[in-house]
Each structure stands twice: as C-alpha cells, then as structure tokens.
C-alpha cells in the first residue's frame, strides 16, 4: 500500500471542513497564540471522527487526527498559493 492510498482511506472531508472552521474561529476570535491551532484542530478532528463513526478505535482516532492536521495544511496551501499576508491583530 502506498501513501496516497492510505491518505485516501483516512481523510474525512466533513471532519476537515469542521476543523478548518474551528481553526479559523480560534485564530480570529480567541486570544490564543497561533502555535496552538494545530493541536486544537487535531483534537477536534479526533472527536468529530469518533462522533461521526460512533466508535472509538485506533483507525478512527488516526483518521480524525490526520483530517485535523490536513485542515491546517490546506489552510497553509491556500494562503501561500493566493499570496495572502497575515493580518496583524490588535490586542485589547
């Protein structure tokens, strides 16, 4: 089995979209450091995958984690491809 086949079996688009939204909300509306966003979306991905599959097993946990991390990667890919600069947030 090659890496592409494994990723196709493990990625869950619904979980990726959910994690993408959570990452966006955390980045723009919560006073946290952005270095923690991948951890947040990984945990959310695991929880969402377990909830969608209605089971807690190693395959579901890994699929959720991969989908959560992939949402961060997709965000970075889009940002770099479109040349979007990071906006500076004003601390209150």
Question: What confidence tier does 86 reach under pLDDT thresholds 50, 70, 90?
Answer: low
At 87 the pLDDT is 62
Q: For 14-64, write each residue's pLDDT tens digit.
A: 999 999 999 989 888 888 788 889 999 999 999 999 999 999 999 999 999
Taking alpha carbons only, the member of 86, 89, 50, 84 closest to residue 68 is 50
Q: Confidence band (pLDDT; 50, 70, 90) for 65? A: very high
Q: What is the pLDDT of residue 91?
A: 56
Domain ranges of the chain: 3-82
The b-or-e profile of 70-79 (16+ CB within 10 A means b, else e) is: bbbeebeeee
- pLDDT given at position 69: 93
Average of pLDDT values for 86-91? 58
């Amino acid at each position: 089995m090659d890496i592409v086949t494994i990723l196709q079996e493990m990625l869950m688009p619904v979980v990726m979209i959910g994690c993408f939204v959570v990452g966006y909300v955390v980045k723009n509306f919560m006073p946290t450091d952005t270095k923690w966003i991948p951890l947040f979306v990984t945990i959310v991905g695991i929880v969402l995958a377990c909830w969608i599959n209605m089971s807690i097993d190693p395959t579901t946990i890994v699929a959720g984690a991969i989908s959560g991390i992939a949402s961060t990667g997709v965000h970075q890919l889009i940002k770099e491809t479109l040349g979007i600069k990071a906006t500076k947030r004003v601390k209150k």
